[in-house]
Amino acid sequence: MIPLTTPAVPADSAILAALAIPAVSDIPAAPAGPEIRKKIQKTKILQLSGLSVQFETSLGRVQAADNVSFEIFENETLALVGETGCGKSVVASAIMQLLPKNAKSKGNIEFGGRNLLDLGEEEMAGVRGAEIAIIFQNPSLSLNPVVTIGDQIAEMLQVHGKAGRSQSIEKAAGVLQRLGLGERSLLKMYPFQFSGGMNQRVMIASALMLSPRIIIADEPTKGLDSATAAGTVQEMKKMKDLSGASLLLITHDPALVESIADRVAVMYCGEVLEIGPCRDVFQKPLHPYTKALLDCLPERGLHPIPGASPSMTNPPQGCKFHPRCPMRCTKCSQSPLMKRMKRTEWMTQVELVERVERTTQAEREERTTQVEWVERATQVECVERMKTVDLGTPSGERWVKCWLY
Amino acid sequence: MSCKNSRRRNAGLSNMIGSTIRSMIGSMSESIGALSGSSKIGLALFVLFLIVAVFAGAVAPYDPWLRFSPFMPPGFAHPLGTNDLGNDILSELIFGTRVSLIVGFGAAFMATIIGSVVGLLSGYFRGLADELLMGLTDVFLMIPQIPLIIVLAAFLRPSFWMTALLMGCLWWTSTARVVRSRTLQVREMSYVESATSLGFSHAHIIFTDVLPNVLHVIMPKFLLAIASALIAEASISFLGLGDPTMKSWGMMINFAFTRGGFINGYWWWYLPPGLCITLFVLSVVLMGSSLEDREEESRVAQ
Amino acid sequence: MLAVLKAENVSKVRESGIFRKTRREIFQNITLELEEGKTVGLMGDSGSGKTTVARIMAGLEKPSAGRVLFQGRDIDSLHGKEFWDYKRSVQMVFQDPEGSLNPRKSIERSINEVLGLLRVPKREWQERTLDILHTVGLSEELLCRYPGQVSGGQNQRIALARVLLLEPRVMILDEPTSALDVSVQAHVLSLLRELQKKLGLGYLLVSHQPEVMRNMAHEVFVLKNGCLVESG
Ligand SMILES: Nc1ncnc2c1ncn2[C@@H]1O[C@H](COP(=O)(O)OP(=O)(O)O)[C@@H](O)[C@H]1O
Ligand code: SF4
Ligand SMILES: [Mg+2]
């Protein structure tokens, strides 16, 4: 369950332990100083390395995930951002081993000392829900319309043989109460009697029932209006704090990430291009794509990325972003490697990127062709002007996949 | 422009209908492509029956009215034997396919056209038109259909064309309802709204925007209507109220029944038409229900 | 200056249930003016009636009270050429990108039918089509495809192209980007901004994102409890 705080607690009290603000004295209070926090974050619980997923389709081979590597630490929120169709859900399905039949995956998904890709269906069933839970996009489609809310949440425990019916309903009531749906009569209601936001909480509750170590939320706010979406984000935050689980938040909306995630991984065309602490990435995006994606936000001026998203069946050679990249150079027709950035490195590089940005911003407004733009932004010219600026302490490792670095 | 095979179309009515037919063919071939295992068998059977019906003259060994010696059991010269008048049963069966299928198709065609028009109009215009047309549909739904057909058949002694027409006029209600409910959905789509706000005529919108998106619910209904028309025709004929000059499958069973085929155990006389009816209905139902399933799936997927 | 389109003291009441018993007032006495070259933003919670206001101004729905004026004249009193003029000048773009094009018509046919509607001679069709595709920043290879085969943003731009062929003066944009990714939203919104500069279009932009409003609108109204509140 939660090895960090409770070494050996029976299943049912583990839930309470996971949810309760410490009622039992031997559970330490929520991580106190940055010291402890850092320690917690250092415990890796899931490690993806070189995960590739291919689909065979009538239109050709789709490389939906290409050499994806990232890790999730204990008790953190990692956001996976990218445009629709870039392969975010495929990564989630690969972790849960819920890929459709026409998918071929290779690589390593290490969880609890095992490679999830090697596990059989039965072993995987023990992991799903109990250790890694997933919350799907559309609550009204994922909930069974003819089963009461209480039974639906309680089912999680019964299926895994952890408790009987009345016991699990008791637990369900407890979990719902933590999420602000305290009234017991709600347990007897059906999903259609709930609003979208309430159903979302029901989904969250059933994900929490088995106190999983990782919760994956795939586009939890898609299709919700802004008020409900904001509410859902709050639920997610609360959920994470209550359960002590790690959260893998999958979304296409960078604005959502900023308010909730600790770290963020940016995905484009099946590849992860940049990983880093959320604050750093948002303040100083290093990868040209990250920068371009953030510039699309209304609060950053609605600057569109030139060109169109590449097709997944026939992606560009080399760096997949290069046809649209304002900073590409000759090297960019070869694939860049994911590079770990040292703090000093990325401070100077940030300057470089900013520099390129300044000289080209005017042209971008005029919508000149990207080609000219790139000519002027040669690396050499920019490097000359590099200056060291202090960005404060970076709060974690930073990885970038780009020839600029 | 880069589209080589695309034809320019203007907004004329004839073109609209032309394009509707094209998309009808398109949706038909699309449907066939999507058929699954058991329904492929259905399709194969269906096509076989169609070929037999169309080329009856070429396929049948004899003229069905030609007389040989009566009550011959199946043999080399007459694979299915002969009946009381000495007609070759296989030839009767083959020409009967044509008759039965014409009745089935005719009735289904009528029913589908009336039902689609009623459904489209009431779904598209809603309001008063909807209430009137749906009221009419309810009235027709309340009519006990088979008894009415029997009564009318008894009084009018109708030709088999009349039977087909009559059934068509009674059986459009379920098509109308399905088409209406789908039309109600489609007209809420923003492409219909946008066509309205761009200023297209109602006719244009109904023919090019609504109908093509409703066709896929019409097709299975059409197939199932063929099956029920065929069964009804067989029942009427069996009761002796059919057109005696046209030997349909039902009529063959009726003859076998009234002229001692059953009592004397001449199985080759009554079994083949019965089997044909069963197989044909099966083939149609297999196809139709698989189309309906697919429609259901695509709706869930949306 | 006379507003191109004006909603004057418009109210809407929805009646539902058997015998139209349940009456729900959605909004009352709303006055909104649209001018060429200007964007008026309309915000509000979901269910507050933004879309209804938009549809009333586009003439797709009748108000329960009040009137909509086109160049100072009630749209209900327009006939013949004047009505056509109104129809042409006021166009609407809808929210869902997938639904705004008929899935069974190729993109080319969707565009051509509008040219047919405008009685453009056939020999000019090709030129006009390429022209309009260029305006919305699409390539002509999309023409043979069907709406299901192009992305959400492209769908929305094709819908825009169709509308632009009519050379409207004001456009009513009902959450044109809320179903799109941020990157695609940026594309579509900056295209809209550009078109406004080039063609002097007036917009009624319905959206629930304050940041979008800050970037796009000259004037923002908020629909709250059935009343219109101005907010800068
Ligand atoms: N079952 C499948 N068969 C073939 N291709 C698929 C399948 N599922 C997803 N894909 C393809 O994989 C890519 C990534 O899809 P997805 O992970 O759903 O994107 P995202 O979640 O980022 O929006 C897309 O190009 C999609 O077309
Ligand atoms: S590798 Fe080159 S093309 Fe790719 S993002 Fe970096 S600079 Fe741009
Ligand atoms: Mg997804």
- pLDDT tier at A15 (50, 70, 90 boundaries)? very low
Q: What distance in Å separates the CA atoms of residue B142 and residue B294, rounded to the nearest whole number?
A: 30
Least confident of B258-267, C56-65, C138-147: B258-267
Ligand 2 site-directed mutation target among A290, A320, A321, most atoms within 8 Å of CB: A321
Does residue A324 carry a pLDDT above 60? yes
Residue C48 has pLDDT above 50, yes or no: yes
Mean per-residue pLDDT, C158-166: 91
pTM recorded for the entire structure = 0.75
Domain assignment present for C172: yes
Task: Give the residue among A46, A59, A63, A50 at the shortest CA–CA distance from A103.
Answer: A63
Question: What residues in B contact C100, CB-CB < 8 Å?
Answer: 190-191, 194
Residue from A90, A253, A313 whose mutation best tests the ligand 1 pocket (most atoms within 8 A of CB): A90
B205: left (phi over 0), alpha (psi -120 to 50) or beta: alpha
Candidate ranges A107-121, A218-232, B235-249; pick with highest mean pLDDT: A107-121
- How far CA A181 is from CA of A145, B195, C68, C202, in Å, comes to 19, 45, 45, 46
Higher pLDDT, A343 or A93: A93
The answer, yes or no, to whether residue C172 has pLDDT greater than 90, is yes
- Does residue C181 belong to any structural domain of this protein? yes
Lowest mean pLDDT: which of B25-29, B49-53, C179-183?
A: B25-29
The pair of three-digit structure tokens given for residue C120, joined into one six-digit string: 């453009």
Give the residues surrounding ligand 2 with Cβ less than 6 Å away.
Answer: A 288-289, 319, 321-322, 325, 327-328, 332, 336, 402-404
Helical axes A196-208 vs A165-178, angle rounded to 10°:
120
Among chain A residues, CA nearest to C177: A298
Share of chain B above pLDDT 90, in %: 16
CATH of the domain at C188: 3.40.50.300
Q: Over range A171-188, report the average pLDDT.
A: 82
C-alpha distances out from residue C153 to A160, A236, B122, C182, C184, Å: 44, 29, 34, 10, 6
**What would the pLDDT profile of A89-136 be if each residue is shown by its tens digit?**
899 999 998 888 888 999 999 998 889 998 888 888 888 888 999 887
Q: How far is B164 from chain C (nearest CA, A)?
A: 33
pLDDT, tens only, B106-133:
999 999 999 999 999 999 998 888 999 9
pLDDT band at A32 (very low <50, low <70, confident <90, very high): very low
Contacts of B208 in chain C (CB under 8 A): 102, 105, 113
Q: How many domains does chain B divide into?
A: 1
pLDDT at C231 over 90: no
Lowest mean per-residue pLDDT among A40-54, A120-134, A359-373, C158-172: A359-373
Residues of B in contact with C126 (CB under 8 A): 1
Q: Does C20 map to a domain? A: yes
- Separation of CA B212 and ligand 3 centre (Å): 30
**Bridge partners of C92?**
C172
* Domain total in chain C: 1
Backbone angles phi, psi at A110, to 5 degrees: -95, 125
Q: Taking CB atoms and an 8 Å limit, are C96 and B198 in contact across chains?
A: no
Give the model's confidence band at C47: pLDDT under 50 very low, under 70 low, under 90 confident, else very high: confident
Question: How much of chain C exceeds pLDDT 90, in percent?
Answer: 30
Is any ligand 1 atom within 6 A of the Cβ of residue A86?
yes
CA distance A265 to A248: 10
Q: How confident is the model at residue A17 (pLDDT cuts 50, 70, 90)?
A: very low
Average the pLDDT over A71-78 and give the result.
90
- Tell me: pLDDT of B11 over 90: no
pLDDT recorded at residue C145: 85
Chain A residues closer than 8 Å to C192 by CB: none
Inter-residue contact A74 to A40 (CB < 8 Å): yes
Position C24 in a domain: yes
Mean pLDDT score of chain A, rounded to an integer? 76
Using the mean position of ligand 1's atoms as its centre, give its distance from the Cα of residue A52 in Å: 13
Instruction: Quote the tokens at residue C100.
Output: 């705004």
Residue keyed to tokens 């006939």: C79
Better pLDDT: A163 or C186: C186
Residues β-bridged to residue A246: A214
Res. C203: pLDDT tops 70: yes
Task: Tell whether C40 is covered by a domain.
Answer: yes
To test ligand 2's pocket by mutation, which of A269, A272, A293, A319 has the most ligand atoms within 8 angstroms of CB? A319
* Closest approach atom of ligand 2 to CA A327: 7
B261 vs B267: CA distance, rounded Å: 7
Return the pLDDT at A356.
64
Interface test with A, best of C181, C190, C192, C216 (most A CBs within 10 A): C181
Sheet with A114-115, strands from edge to edge, namely A60-73, A44-57, A103-111, A114-115
Domains of chain A, CATH where assigned: 1-20+33-41+343-389 (no CATH), 43-139+213-228+238-326+401-405 (3.40.50.300)
pLDDT per residue as tens digits for the range B125-180: 988 889 999 999 999 888 887 788 778 777 776 677 777 888 888 889 989 999 99
CA distance A256 to A224: 13
Q: How far apart are CA B230 and CA B102, in angstroms?
A: 9
**Average pLDDT for B181-203:** 89
Measured from the CB, is residue A62 less than 6 Å from ligand 1? yes
Give the pLDDT score at A331.
80
**Residue A146: band (very low, low, confident or very high) from pLDDT cuts 50, 70, 90:** confident
Measured between alpha carbons, how far is B220 from B42 in angstroms, rounded to an integer?
Answer: 13
* Residue C118 located in a structural domain: no
Residues of the domain holding C10 = 5-102+167-230
Of C76 and A14, the structure prediction assigns the larger pLDDT to C76
- Residue type for A118, please? D
CATH number at residue B65: 1.10.3720.10
* pLDDT > 70: percent of chain B: 84
Residue B295, domain extent: 2-301
Residue of higher predicted confidence among A358 and A36 = A358
Cα of A292 from ligand 1 centre, angstroms: 23
Residue, of B50 and A241, whose pLDDT is higher: B50
Do the beta carbons of residue A48 and residue A95 sit within 8 Å? yes
Structural domain includes residue C194: yes
Instruction: Answer whether A218's CB lies under 8 Å from A134's CB.
Output: yes
pLDDT at B43: 86
Which of A99-113, A164-178, B260-274 has the lowest average pLDDT?
B260-274
pLDDT of residue B40: 81
Asked if B190's CB is within 8 angstroms of C100's CB, the reply is yes
Q: Would C145 be classed as within a structural domain?
A: no
User: Residue A391 has what pLDDT?
Assistant: 45
Hey, which chains touch B, using 3+ CB pairs under 8 Å? C
pLDDT above 60 for B302: no
Confidence of residue A349 (pLDDT cuts 50, 70, 90): low
